[in-house]
Amino acid sequence: MTIQFKEHKNINIQQLENLYNDVGWYAYTKDMQQLEQALHHSLDVISAWDNDKLVGLIRIVGDGLTIVYIQDILVLNHYQNQGIATKLMTKILQKYQHVRQKVLLTEEAPDVRHFYEKNGFESCDQGNLVAFAKLL
């Protein structure tokens, strides 16, 4: 299996819906037009493809100069644990290596902490950092 990575925001809405639903992110797929618009308004989107099948995606927002916020990183369940998410993260971190603040929020889940820490992120419940969020 050869995974190809593409930098573009024009992704078939059905494939997008399949990806988000497969990982259980149903809050995003309640309004597919909004998700599609969110992709187009993102600073950057890198997607992972197995031939013509969307298998993963990383999406960031921010100014690209002083801050980038990793909004979404997801990989189809069947394709997880094959290094695809790590490759997506590496591509974004290399592209925005000059940016001082790289931020993300995520829910605690098995292997989540390990994944982000191995990619150089520090949990805000450790060290000097503090994080606040207000969700609907």
Ranked by mean pLDDT, the top range of 12-16, 122-126, 129-133 is 12-16
- pTM as predicted: 0.86
Residues 6+ apart with CB under 8 A from 25: 72, 74
Is residue 88 within 8 A of residue 119, CB to CB? The reply is: no
| Token representation of residue 68 | 């980038």
Q: For residue 127, what pLDDT band results from cuts at 50, 70 and 90? A: low
Output phi, psi for 32, to 5 deg: -65, -30
User: What's the CA gap between 136 and 131, in Å, rounded?
Assistant: 17
Query: Which of the 8 DSSP states describes residue 9?
Result: S
Residue of 83, 35, 89 lying closest to 57 (CA atoms): 89
**pLDDT of 44-67, one tens digit each?**
999 999 999 999 999 999 999 999
Measured from the Cβ of residue 45, the count of other Cβ atoms closer than 10 Å reads 21
Residue 68, burial from CB neighbour count under 10 angstroms (0-12, 13-18, 19+): buried
**pLDDT of 33-44, one tens digit each?**
999 999 999 999
Query: Which of the 8 DSSP states describes residue 136?
Result: -
Instruction: Tell me if residue 30 falls in helix, strand or coil.
Output: coil
